[in-house]
Structure 1
Amino acid sequence: MFRLLSDFILRFRVYVLLGMGLIVLANAPFLQGLRFDFTPQQLFAGTQDVLEQREKFAAEFGREDNLVTIIVEGDSLFEPKTLEWIRDFTVSLREFEEVKNAQSLPTMEIPRSGAEAGLLTTVPIVLESGEVEPSAAAALKELAANEPLLNKRVISPDLETTVVLVWLQDDLQDVKDLRAAILKIEAKLAESGVPSELRTRVSGIPYLRQEIVENLKTQQLTFVPATGLAYLLILFFMFRRFSGVVLPLGVVAITMVLVTGMMVFTDSPINIINNILPSLVFIIGVSDSIHMIARDGEENEAGADRASSVKAMIRHTGLACLLTSTTTAVGFFSLLAADTEILKNFGWQAGASVLLAYLVTLLFLPAALVKMRPVQRLNTQKPDYQPLIEKFMGVLGEKVVAHPWRFFVSGLVITAIAAMAAFQVEIDTILLEVYEPGHPTYNTLKMSEEKLGGILPIEISLDSSEPGAFKNPENYKKLAELQTFSKQFDVVLSTQSLVDYHQAARAALLADPAQRGTMPESRDEIEQLHLLLAGAPDSRSGASQFVSTDFSHVRLLLRVADDGAKAQLALGNELKEKLGELFPPGHDVSWVLTGDAYVASISLDSFIRDLFGSLLLAMVIIFGMMTVAFRSIRLGLISVLPNATPLILTLGYMGVRGIDLNTTTIITFSIGLGLAVDDTIHFLARYQEERDAGRDASESIKRAYMGAGRAIMLTSVMLLIGLGVLLMSDFVPTRMFGTLTGITIAGAILGDLIILPPLLYLVDSWRDRRTNALPGTV
């Protein structure tokens, strides 16, 4: 087939190139239609029941995950002018249509003792407009220092840090909409005339989400071109021929145009998972191109003319590249069996991208290469001279054949050590894992956790079909008991419920702080406490945010530290056990754990396990396909270890460094899967070609090293140097991708050049000896 194809490509090379150019031009207009959607909620789609509960809860009580916080720091927070600025800025934010509500220390309606004994008021101490009187500022300072509803929630214990709370509209979930709203808030902050003695910072979950997404976009636009430039320089240094530089990058560029057109045509945006497609296309396209160009140079050095060497290149590497691309693509297509929609989409997108890269390589590269000077492996002016890589491959081949057990056992020991370290890797996701300690966003969130009770919400929803269920003192006390139970965990920074407001009202009414610990004993008492607060508007800062109007549904809000999904899931299990004890099956009160921190933790944990399981399935399918492709169970089994080595080595590195398996790190394994399969197949194909030519195992190994081994090393060195560009990024996911992909490439070198060749030699030389020992065998 490839013989006929080579004749066709060279005979109609002009039409092939013209057709390729027309296809690229046809796809070019689609480039501007490429969409970006890095909304993290896409990762949650595999836990539909959890999402439905989250949406149902948000419909009644609103979204705590849509809370933007403006942190204000200074030692003059309770100066009248400062309080005036905070109040006026807060009120001005309520004018934005994107803002559902805004509250701050001067505007909150907190229960406190009235002007006379036995009276209670919730009217803010600071008036809605006008100058703030020194007496009002002093009274607010005293309330802030002693009121649990405020302290370490809205004001820090040292009274030097406060927060303006801004709830965005519940329907603002798309990152673009969140960013637009936050930019308006920041613009308003800039023009509000912040007093010079104050320091302000914007934070909150919406702010973090949009900032992470903007960083991802910036990294793509900055480091993809930078890496491409690095590869161009490396290719020039390696080949020093126009064909060796332009053609591999041309293959990648054409493929990327086609992939972009495919994404636009199918209305598929670039998202938080498939944003590695450019890297995948780069690695697969450049790798196959180098294998083909290197084989062309080899045929040319053997004395073939340009047409003959290009035809030989297609015949010998076309099949190997087809096997690498098909097996890798099928591996990615196996992700269609995943539970998460975003994974299914990534599966077909990655598989299609790999196949497009193969088609472009097979058609474009030979058609262009035949009229170009081939790359040179040897110096024709100095016949005895060998470049460093050729010399290294020759020596390595001789050593492996001479000491196969030494190399095989050494590679096996390294892999075994990495496998043991891999068991230390844990599945965990931390929101701040994308930032280095010391980054302003990192410092702001940590400060918020330390002084203001944190921003990550876990919600407990308690619901009953019976109106007035939580006017029942028994259920009310169980809510209070659950809140007290929650406070014992280190990960819980603050809690808030209806009980807090009722206790504040009781203490204020009786002018006795000790009354906060007294539980109401009757429905009437609960109703009276709530009626005392009924004069306050139904706002996000009042008691009404924690209970439905008919008292059948209440919520308990926990704010937790960013200690990772593992810690939050452990907390969830403890809470479930306590909830089962307080409200067992058959009780008229049902319960649900929700809130962004919990939903994100359970969903991301499920997503990572789903992806990891899908990649393992992909590996099994790939090994099966390799067995069929080489028509040899022996080669299929032999390929398992070198294919697994890069992934094992990467996991081992993560275990030694204490790096968790999360959404940032696990996606690297998709690249590793494609790279490992590519190198293994190329080496096996070249080895099998030499065996089919009648050479023994020893000579076949040596020649495979000089052919496929050289191309593998060239590709690996180029990729490693190119990935070094990513290490200059100040964005942790970009650096981590570069580091882990580099470790994966090093693992591929270990698997395909240190473990695979001696294993092939040991198995086949034993088979040769056994065959020769049979009676009648010469």
Structure 2
Amino acid sequence: MSSLLDRLADTIVEHRWIVLGILLLVTAVIGAGLHRLETNFSVDEIHGLSGAQQQALEEVRETFGADERTLVVLVSADDIFRPAALAWIREASRSLKDLDGIARVESITETPVPQVKDSPRGDNTLGSTDPPIPSPASLTPPSLKEMLSRLAKGEIRAGPVLGDEPIDAAGAERLQDALSDAPLIRERLVSPDAGSTLVVAQLDEDVESNADVAEVVSALNDWLAEHPAPEGVEVRPAGLPYINATIIERMKRDQTILLPGSLLLALLLLFVAFRWWPAIYLPVVAVVCSAIMIVGAMGWLGVPVDILNNIVPVMVVIIGITDAIHLVHRYGDYLDEDLVDASKDTFRSMAVACFLTSFTTAVGFVSLVVSETTVLQRFGLVAAGGVVLAYVVIITLVPAMLPAVGQPPERVRNANTSGKLNALLERMADMHLRRPWAATAAFLVLAAPVAIYGVTQLEVDNAVLDQFDPKDEIYQTVRRLEAEGFGVRTMDVVFRSAEDERLLQPDFLNRLHAFEKWADEQPGVQQTSGPTELLHEIWYLSTGNETARGRDFTDADTVDQLRLLAGASGRSPLQRHLSSDGEVARLEVSVKDVGDQATLTLAEDLRNRAEESVGALDGVEVAVTGRALISSQAIDTLIRDLLASLALAFVVIFAFMSLVLRSVRLGLVSLPATVLPLLVTAGYMAFRGIPLNAATVIIFSISIGLAVDGAIHVLARFREEAGRGESTDEALRHAVQGTGEAVILMYAALILGFALMLTSSFVPVRRFGELVSITVLTCLFSTLVLLPPLLKFAWKDDS
């Protein structure tokens, strides 16, 4: 190993200008891949659907259509049936329908409302001057020919209640009356207190990419900005496409702050640490080249920038600077020699330690590949590649160019021998040698209760709104939607039968209707929508008999006739809930964003009840699917996978450290100082009420690599000093004093760098920065307070 390091040091330092030219050329060639770089900020990727889950969801989409392609505008007022509010809703509905990318729009002013001349309320919803016709007693649906005749005569009409005429009080009252006799439409579009209504825009099938959705959302926002609602009317856009597009836009905006901010922070830290310009610009040039290389490589390899790996360039800058700090700091130890020899010695002494820190950090990232989620696998591989690239560039460029920039000032020469910080480290080393138990006990007394609290109290949960602050407009809109009875997440209870038209039989439909009523009353359920309510409504409209809305179906002929009538005017509304062959049916269940655990519990309750009632029929199978359920299941699977990856990372890091340091004992000594900070972070999360979810669980896999970095430098220096024949106490003293300042600067750079993410508008990114900073802060104390006493206990002079 030493002969290899000698040859590398001689080559790099003595041929520095060739090395610099090659490095810049490689950066330019790889960086040319930037023009091929693509983006895919799909928030759904984090859900990580397995093959079976994806297939089940796709089958439902193919049969009944996709439900998550809907933009929503929530319109609220004291009374949304005021003429001014209705006029704005009509204008908005028609204008949105004309936007590119919008297939159709539903609203109370535009959705066709069935209107029957002989309304059972005794009024006349069609506005005829004839006296109301009494409701017939018959429950036998008319034939299709009779129904078409009634439509032709105007006895039944299905169209918007309001035409193009100006909306006055009489027109508003007519609309309200018509909707009161069309409960399915009213319940779906109007809140119970008539204080809110929805304008629902369905995206075109060809609107597929994030860029396409962003264009539609931008056009919607532009129209809303140019056409403010009348006084007293509040308008809030929402819907999953809108939420996803907003998240993506905010993340892109974050990058204009985080990357420049990380570079400025790196400049500031290096200036404070060394106040020598070459020690500032050389590391910054190195990390910029590294960031360009990793992003360019993504372009050449066809790896898109996504919701997670977009922060990799920022992390490369933050983590890369820490290696540069150790290099420049160690360079000061050899400045009594010729500058070329000092640079060579710096390379020889730091190459292995910096490789170990980069390797362990990369292992933490690579461990994410055990996840079934593609976006996490991609993030792990890209981040690991960035860390390795940063190591290669920094360990090559900085030692190579240091002799070319002239003599450093005295503050660099005396970095480890003077100053208040060095005096503090000297006293700390003395304390570890005189009273090792005292330091260990003090640290454990403070850290152990926090760690225990975290292990016992940390919750596992995830919600869509975890991505937003409670003060965020989107958060407030979703909560307002839920408060008004509208849901933003859906589950599907799917019923299947291999027997043709089995699900058109009265026994199935009656049990499904009873199950739907039960489901509608469950906690967390906002709305339900299935085929039986539609069939009952058609039954009522075709016969005029109010009792048809609540009666059981008695014979298959009635059901067949109702199905024919449903499609009399074109596309049957039953197609969203019942397949044409009668072999597949679904009940849509719209739910609150109550978190994954509550969603899973609700799904289990729905499945059990459906199997006990509807599934008890011969030949009927029950399944529960939908985006809300699948994302909740995926989070549980994801957390199990990542906990396994954490264990794998521990084993790999321990084994590699033991091998490189040539001591299993040193590998074991590093474990407590590495594990305890992760447990303290878990306690901090429990105290802050931050759940373990997809955004936070990856922090542990990443932090394990960062947590061990300080320990590696201390252990490597201790091994070096002990190898020179020094006693355990002297080797320990030199290790703490020789690396302590650099370790403090390294962890300070990591803390401040990740804390910069607190400026993000994206809550998961902020939590990522917050929790990694807490982990690293604890690592600082565990490395300098806990590790040295453990090292003294474990290492003997004859080791």
Q: Tell me, in whole angstroms, the C-alpha distance in 2 between the residues paired with 1:607 and 1:509.
A: 51
Q: Identify the residue that residue 310 of structure 1 maps to in structure 2.
A: 343
The 10-residue stretch of structure 1 (485-494 or 193-202) with the greater mean CA deviation from structure 2: 193-202
Q: 1:492 maps to what in 2? A: 525
Corresponding residue number in structure 1 for 2:204: 169
Alignment of 1:43-192 (within 5 A): 43-75=46-78, 77-80=80-83, 82-96=85-99, 98-111=101-114, 113-115=116-118, 116-118=133-135, 121=156, 123-124=158-159, 126-132=161-167, 134-144=169-179, 147-170=182-205, 172-190=207-225
Aligned to 2:437: 405
Q: 1-side partners of 2:187 and 2:436: how far apart?
A: 66
1:626 aligned residue: 657
Relative to structure 2, which stretch is displaced further, 39-48 or 109-118?
109-118
Alpha carbons of 1:296 and 1:516: their partners in 2 closer, same or farther (altered >3 Å)? same
Closer, same or farther: CA 409–634 of 1 in aligned 2, 3 Å: same
Is this contact kept in 2: 1:296–1:374, CA < 8 A? no
The answer as to 2:687 corresponding to 1:652 is no
Equivalent in 237, 240, 245 of residue 280 of structure 2? 245
Distance change (3 Å), C-alpha of 1:79 and 1:280: closer
SS of the counterpart of 2:621?
A: strand
Where does residue 457 of structure 1 map in the other structure? 490
Which of 607-616 and 289-298 deviates more? 607-616
Work out the CA distance in 1 between the residues paired with 2:412 and 2:562. 93
Instruction: Say yes or no: does 1:421 pair with 2:421.
Output: no
Q: Distance in 1 between matches of 2:415 and 2:201?
A: 75
- Which residue is 1:267 aligned to? 302
Identify the residue that residue 725 of structure 1 maps to in structure 2.
756
Contact 2:104–2:201 (CA<8 Å) still a contact in 1?
yes
Identify the residue that residue 151 of structure 2 maps to in structure 1: none
1:233 and 2:268 equivalent?
Answer: yes
**Residues 334 and 74 of structure 1, relative CA distance in 2, 3 Å threshold:** closer
Which ranges of structure 1 fall in alignment gaps of 5 or more residues? 773-778
Moved more, 470-479 or 368-377: 368-377
* Structure 2 counterpart of 1:524, from 554, 557, 572: 557
Of the three residues 618, 636, 654, the one matched with 1:605 is: 636
2:23 partner letter: M
Cα separation, partners in 2 of 1:417 and 1:275, compared to 1, 3 Å: farther
> How far apart are the structure 1 equivalents of 2:636 and 2:415?
59
- Secondary structure of the structure 1 residue equivalent to 2:159: coil
In structure 2, do the counterparts of structure 1 residues 525 and 103 end up closer, same or farther at CA, with 3 Å as the change threshold?
same
Q: 1:291 aligns with which of 314, 326, 344?
A: 326
User: Are 1:447 and 2:480 matched, yes or no?
Assistant: yes
Give the secondary structure class of the aligned counterpart of 1:371. Answer: helix
CA distance change for structure 1 residues 16 and 350 in 2, over 3 Å: closer, same or farther?
Answer: same
Find the residue that maps to 1:201 and give its secondary structure.
strand
Deviation of 1:732 (Å): 2.0
Post-superposition offset of 1:712: 0.9
Quick check: 1:407–1:758 contact (8 Å CA) kept in 2? yes
Amino acid at match of 1:34: L
| 1:702–1:154 Cα change, 3 Å | same
Separation in 1, partners of 2:261, 2:429 = 35
Superposition deviation, residue 693 in structure 1? 1.0
Q: TM-score, normalised by structure 2?
A: 0.90
Alpha-carbon spacing, 1:679–1:412, altered in 2? closer, same or farther (3 Å): same
CA distance in 2: counterparts of 1:656 and 1:238, whole angstroms: 34
Please tell me the residue identity of whatever aligns with 2:519.
Answer: S
> Which of 434, 438, 443 in structure 1 is aligned with 2:471?
438
SS in 2 for 1:574: helix
Structure-1 separation of matches of 2:415 and 2:742 = 21
Worse overlay, 288-297 or 42-51:
42-51
* Residue 232 of structure 2 corresponds to residue 202 of structure 1: no
1:29 Cα deviation (Å)? 2.7
Which residue number corresponds to residue 42 of structure 1?
45
Q: What amino acid does structure 1 have at the position aligned with 2:291? A: M
1:591 aligns with 622
Residue-by-residue CA offset, 1:140-192 (whole Å, 9 max, x unaligned): 21344575424453112221211111111345343222111222333444556
Task: Quote the offset at 1:484 in angstroms.
Answer: 2.2
Q: Deviations over 1:178-231 (max 9, x none)?
A: 111222333444556744553322100110011111111211221221132122
Greater shift in the superposed pair: 202-211 or 234-243: 234-243
Deviations 1:419-449 (Å, cap 9, x if unpaired)?
A: 3122222222111112111211111111111
Q: Which amino acid aligns with 1:297?
A: G
Give the counterpart letter for 1:65 in structure 2: E
Q: In 1, distance between residues paired with 2:296 and 2:705?
A: 22
1:656-715 Cα offsets, whole Å, 9 max, x none, are 111011232223334312212322211110010011111111111111111222111011
Change (3 A) 1:611 1:171: farther
Does the aligned pair in 1 maintain the 2:64–2:575 contact within 8 Å?
no
- Is the 2:250–2:762 contact (alpha carbons within 8 Å) kept by the matching residues of 1? yes
Distance across 2 between alignment mates of 1:357 and 1:673: 19
Deviation at 1:451, TM superposition (A): 0.8
Q: Distance in 1 between matches of 2:761 and 2:610?
A: 43
SS at match of 1:370: helix
For 1:620 and 1:132, locate their aligned partners in 2 and report how far apart those are by CA, in whole Å: 72
> 1:393 matched to which residue of 2?
425
Equivalent residues in 2 for 1:759-774, closer than 5 Å: 759-764=790-795, 767-768=796-797
Equivalent position to 2:772, from 741, 746, 761? 741
Task: State the distance in 2 between where 1:652 and 1:171 align.
Answer: 47
Structure 2 gap segments, 5+ residues each: 119-132, 137-154
Q: 1:472 aligns with which of 479, 497, 505?
A: 505
Q: Please give the secondary structure, in 1, of the residue aligned with 2:337.
A: coil
Among 755, 777, 781, the residue aligned to 1:750:
781
How far 1:568 moved relative to its partner? Answer: 0.9
Deviation at 1:265, TM superposition (A): 1.1
**In structure 2, do the counterparts of structure 1 residues 734 and 327 end up closer, same or farther at CA, with 3 Å as the change threshold?**
closer
Indicate conservation of the 8 Å contact 1:471/1:523, yes or no. yes
SS in structure 1 of the partner of residue 586 of structure 2 = strand
Match of 1:328 among 361, 369, 377: 361
CA deviation profile, 1:600-622 (whole Å, cap 9, x unmatched): 22223323332332232122111
Give me the whole-angstrom Cα distance separating, in 2, the residues matched to 1:340 and 1:136.
Answer: 53
Match of 2:674 in 1: 643
Q: Secondary structure at the match of 1:695?
A: coil
Q: Which residue of 1 aligns with 2:603?
A: 572
Q: For the residues of structure 1 that align with 2:375 and 2:471, how far apart are their CA atoms?
A: 33
The reply to whether residue 354 of structure 1 matches residue 387 of structure 2 is yes
The residue number in structure 1 matching 2:139 is none
Q: In the alignment, residue 688 of structure 2 is paired with which amino acid?
A: R
Question: What SS is found at the alignment partner of 1:591?
Answer: strand
Matches within 5 A, 1:498-513: 498-507=531-540
Q: Deviations over 1:10-48 (max 9, x none)?
A: 211111111112112223332233222111232344512
Q: Measure how far apart 1:598 and its partner are.
A: 1.6
- Structure 1 match to 2:140: none
AA partner of residue 422 (structure 1): G
d(CA) in 2 for partners of 1:154 and 1:637?
A: 63
* Aligned mate of 1:684, from 715, 734, 746: 715
Cα shift at 1:584: 4.6
Return closer, same or farther for 1:340/1:722 CA change in 2, 3 Å cut-off: closer
SS in 1 for 2:198: strand
